[in-house]
Chain A
């Protein structure tokens, strides 16, 4: 069969590009999480900052991805390597869902519960760690899910600046009008997205708080 011959021929490349794709996405998600969750907490503490900061993060989201890669190319350090460009761009797209959900999750905690947390003598840090974060966790995870799926998708475009990943197949397939190549990129990318979504969904379900009327 022609199909299985194609698979055999490209198998090694599919595996290595999938791993590269996974690495780009994971690296971006690690950075994005490390920035976004503290930022979301900060905004929940100083709510006056929430509108302007979320506005800026929102604007990042509206930049077309190809243009974003283009903007980053001439920058020192970041522009020196394709993978750096890709990761920085992916981080920019991943910020909004995580920051927004962390902020919404924390500010949405029942005011009575927060009142009691303060009145029984919890320190600021204890309130955050024992009450706000656990109760906001399903929201934060939902944000991580959205961000991960977005990243997996946008990472395919990183191939345009030579960062590799499954986009390589797609661009090659488009250039040579070979649908099999397009699918060799698109199908594993879709599976990565679905897999990550499913895993995080499972975690979200495990950490939900029954009886709060929240997800």
Chain B
């Protein structure tokens, strides 16, 4: 892959028919093997931006490059299969067992049942679920945290080296969320077995999560990039939009200290 970023947005805009811009000239990159967090308020356009990458959302102008190639020159089905996708609601298929949910991309690519089963079991172990207990369960027999683990395993089952995550842990309690963040960190390191890390674009409104997981934190406001900083410089940034965001957290703790 060399020097080309895993994902690169070049002057990406998306305008509604009435002229309102959901995305306004967004330029940023996700370097291979790193995690970039898109931080911002609800409706800031961060989910829209994420969904342009696997062409679940269109762009009005600009270009998105995945592994150095414009997504509009890539076959859309292949592009989507090569990118892991994790969302808050998990979207597990209610009529598939856990094993089949995880092996989904392998199944639609026509891999053999034994290969799928082996891979699913290995991934269940990696996300901390005992295969002998969980492989045959249906999604409704899982807790929220377990569902999210399965969702994560599914996103990486076919060896995807790029992961799109849309508020993946937003619906979980703080302790389960912390646990899942660690599962994610471990998984992005281990899953390829080659030492190469998974590249992650993570949408979140949780600053703590962004700082914990990402090398770079990008603040999106009204469809524009308001700040694009290394995580370690984010808290001390003088940019007003960043300051406002930083002040908004930990208010409870600071009040009571």
Contacts and interface: CB of A to CB of B under 8 A. Distances in A.
A120 B95 contact: no
Interface stretch (A26-34, A39-47, A196-204, A205-213): A205-213
Contacts of B140: 210-212
A212 B56 contact: no
A206 to B, nearest CB: 13
Contacts of B78: 121
A116 B85 contact: yes
B56 A116 contact: no
Interface of A: 110, 112-113, 115-123, 126, 130-131, 134-135, 209-212
Nearest to A214: B94
Contacts of B141: 211
B56 A115 contact: yes
Contacts of B94: 110, 113, 135, 209-212
B87 A120 contact: no
A101 to B, nearest CB: 18
Given A110-B91, A113-B92, A211-B139, 7 more contacts: A110-B94, A113-B93, A116-B85, A119-B80, A120-B154, A121-B81, A121-B108
A119 B54 contact: yes
Nearest to B160: A120
B139 A121 contact: no
Nearest to B84: A120
Contacts of A122: 77, 108
Interface in B52-86: 54, 56, 77-82, 85
A127 to B, nearest CB: 10
A118 B87 contact: no
Contacts of B81: 120-121
B91 A115 contact: yes
Interface in B72-128: 77-82, 85, 87, 89, 91-95, 104-105, 108
A134 to B, nearest CB: 5
A135 B78 CA distance: 25
A115 B89 CA distance: 11
Contact of A116 (B77, B91, B138): B91
A126 B154 CA distance: 17
A83 B81 CA distance: 52
7 contacts: A116-B91, A118-B80, A121-B77, A122-B108, A130-B108, A210-B94, A210-B140
Contacts of B108: 120-123, 126, 130
Interface of B: 54, 56, 77-82, 85, 87, 89, 91-95, 104-105, 108, 138-141, 154
A181 to B, nearest CB: 49
A119 B138 contact: no
Given A119-B80, A209-B95, A211-B138, A112 B85 contact: no
A2 to B, nearest CB: 56
A135 B80 contact: no
Given A112-B87, A210-B138, A211-B138, A123 B93 contact: no
B201 to A, nearest CB: 13
A210 B94 CA distance: 8
A75 to B, nearest CB: 44
A91 B138 CA distance: 38
B67 to A, nearest CB: 15
Contacts of B95: 134-135, 209, 212
Of A113, A121, A122, A123, most B-chain CB atoms within 10 Å: A121
A121 B81 CA distance: 5
A120 B85 contact: yes
Contacts of A112: 87, 89, 91
A129 to B, nearest CB: 10
A131 B93 contact: yes
A121 B80 CA distance: 5
A83 B95 CA distance: 41
A209 B138 CA distance: 10
B56 A121 contact: no
B93 A119 contact: no
A75 B48 CA distance: 57
